[in-house]
Copies of this chain bind each other. A is one copy, B any other.
Amino acid sequence: MKDKILSRAKELFSHTVSLRRDFHKYPEIGFMEFRTVAQIIEYLRGLGVEVKYGEEVINTSEVLGMPDDQNIENARLRAIADGADESLVRSIANGGTAVVATIYGKAGKGNKTVAFRFDIDSNELVESESPDHLPCAQGFASVHNGSAHACAHDGHVAIGLTLAKILSENTDYFSGKIKLIFQPAEEGVRGADAMVAAGVVDDVDVFFSGHIGISAKNTGTLFASTDNFLCATKYDAEFFGACTHAGLKPEEGKNALLAAAQAALSLHAISRHSAGASRINVGVISGGSGRNVIPSYARIEFETRGINSKVNAYMKKRAEAIIASCAMMYDVEYSLNCVGNAESFEPDMAFGKEISEYARSTGIFSNIIDVGPMNASEDCTAYMNRVISRGGKATYMMFGADLASQHHTPEFDFDEKVLSDAVALLALLAIKYA
């Protein structure tokens, strides 16, 4: 069985690569993954597995940081123009770009449920146009200006679909139930809570997820489990002032732009915390209407992180005071909304050890580490904490890959060899635990 799975994964390598490159070419940002979801659904249906999507698998009322209706509608139109099935796209509610496939084993009367989670959204950044950038050289660079797969989620989807293919071909080898969870909007850590709220992992005994790259920067490396998940909170702050002619009556203006600029600077100056890593980033700013008008409106999008919930709570408390004080400083009104949330996670060291030993026995990866650091945030922790709280087991792996550049940079790319390695290991784990 093992050899069969390993050779099938290798055989499908070019198939997995072509899937990955297709998703790479048509990146879609969080909650607007209409083409991505339509492709996933059609692929899974083609395998004959059970497919649920939209409000069946995500509680759209719990979604954080939902884009506005106009942007969502534009995304639907673009997906259709990019070849997605129109009726399928139209059947997906706002915020409903989530899919869950279920594959039932036929080996016996098992009752274990094993879940795998794959995130599907792209980043908001402009991909490199350098001829040295492989996606350019090979013609699969993003055709959507301002969106790019710079975090390897394209690879995650390709792994997930190939995994579905292999498992659907090998149902004789397992007796339980396998769920493949395709989640929107991991960027901004916005999608997981709403899928958890829809109950998608309430029946799960063993949960696997993972990431290509991040701290495992060489092909052949595997982290069997991961720690140092940063707790994160995502905020939008808006400032509402009063505009006036900047030459005639500057004193009558209430300058929302300066309040936002001050907030950006002051947020970045929140003191370090002695309990461990913290992060702050104001990722987006915009404000003002015209050069000679005192700006009456401005907004920032920012995030806080902490190595644990205490550190993040400190960051949040300071951030909230800063936003309020900047509004006061410029005599403007403000609003502050939480639009994303990621929990921390304590890895189960015993289960990690078990996985690492099993992985070693498969010979797929040459350098296996029991536990490696995330040093970033992942809303995957929501599923894992849920599964563990109900008595299940969960681990988050890292599939090492040589990287062309850091995650979230225009030149990001990864060694595609990782794709078949990850597929092979996940397929064996599915069979082992289901």
Chain A residues near B (Cβ < 8 Å): 123-126, 146, 151, 187-188, 214-215, 230, 232, 234, 242-253, 255, 257-258, 260-262, 264-266, 268-269, 271-295, 298, 301-303, 305, 314, 318, 321-322, 324-326, 328-329, 331, 340, 375-377, 406-410
* Contact (Cβ within 8 A) A272 B269: no
Which chain B residues border A285 with CB–CB below 8 Å?
A: 257, 260-261, 285-288, 295, 298
10 chain-A/chain-B pairs, Cβ below 8 angstroms: A125-B289, A187-B292, A245-B407, A249-B274, A250-B279, A260-B261, A260-B285, A266-B329, A283-B295, A322-B329
Q: Which residue of B lies closest to A215 (CB)?
A: B248
- In the complex the two chains form, is A243's CB within 8 Å of B187's CB? no
Whose C-beta in chain B lies nearest to the C-beta of A245? B408
In the complex with contacts A301-B291, A321-B329, A283-B406 CB distance below 8 A: no
Taking a contact as CB atoms under 8 Å apart, the answer to whether B409 and A290 are in contact is no
- Do A244 and B409 contact each other (CB < 8 Å), given the known contacts A265-B262, A272-B279, A290-B125? yes
A269:B271 contact, CB within 8 angstroms:
no
Whether the Cβ atoms of B406 and A293 lie closer than 8 Å is no
Contact of A326 among B215, B273, B287, B325 (CB under 8 A): B325
A248 and B291 contact, CB distance less than 8 A: no
**Contact between B277 and A272, CB atoms less than 8 A apart:** yes
Contact partners of A124 in chain B: CB under 8 A: 289-290, 293
Query: Contact at B375–A281, with CB atoms within 8 Å?
Result: no
Whether the Cβ atoms of B376 and A247 lie closer than 8 Å is yes
CB <8 Å contact, A187 and B290: yes
- In angstroms, how far is the closest chain B Cβ from the Cβ of A79? 20
Q: Which of B281, B294, B314 contacts A281 (CB 8 A)?
A: B294
Q: A318 to B277: give the CA distance in the assembly, Å.
A: 19
Contact at A246–B301, with CB atoms within 8 Å? Answer: no
User: Provided the pairs A250-B272, A274-B250 are in contact, do residues A245 and B376 lie with their beta carbons within 8 angstroms?
Assistant: yes
Whether the pair A283, B247 counts as a contact (CB closer than 8 A) is no
A100 to B278, CA, bound (A): 43
- Decide: B314 and A251 in contact? CB cutoff 8 A: yes
Q: Are A264 and B258 within 8 A (Cβ)?
A: yes
Further pairs besides A276-B277, A281-B291, A284-B291: 6, Cβ < 8 Å:
A124-B290, A124-B293, A151-B245, A234-B291, A248-B408, A265-B265
Asked whether, in the complex, the Cβ of B288 is within 8 Å of the Cβ of A292, the reply is: no
Is A325 a contact of B329 with CB atoms below 8 Å? yes
A276, closest chain B residue (CB): B277
Q: With a CB–CB cut-off of 8 A, which chain B residues contact A314?
A: 251
A258 contact set on B, CB distance < 8 A: 264-265, 268-269, 282
Contact of A261 among B242, B264, B305 (CB under 8 A): B264
Our pick among B275, B281, B328 for the contact of A328 (Cβ within 8 Å) is: B328
Chain B residues closer than 8 Å to A125, beta-carbon distance: 243, 289-290, 293
Cβ-neighbour of A278 out of B272, B275, B292, B408 (below 8 A): B272
- Pick from B188, B282, B321, B408: contact of A288, CB under 8 Å: B282
| Residue with the greatest number of chain B CB neighbours at <10 A, chosen from A283, A303, A324 | A283
Residue in B248, B261, B282 whose CB lies within 8 Å of A406 = B248
CB of A248 within 8 A of CB of B274, answer yes
Partner of A375, one of B247, B271, B279, B318: B247
| Residue from A264, A303, A305, A328 whose CB has the most chain B CB atoms within 10 Å | A264
**Chain B residues whose C-beta falls within 8 Å of the C-beta of A292 in the assembled complex:** 187-188, 281, 283, 303, 377, 408
Q: How far is the CA of A340 from the CA of B247 in the complex (A)?
A: 15
On chain B, the residues within 8 Å of A406 by CB distance are: 244-245, 248-249, 252
Which residues of chain B come closer than 8 Å to A298, judged between CB atoms? 285
Which residues of B sit under 8 angstroms from A269, Cβ to Cβ? 258, 265, 268-269
- Give complex CA distance A320, B261 in Å: 19
**Chain B residues, Cβ within 8 Å of A215:** 248
With A272-B251, A289-B125 given, is the CB distance from A243 to B410 under 8 Å? yes
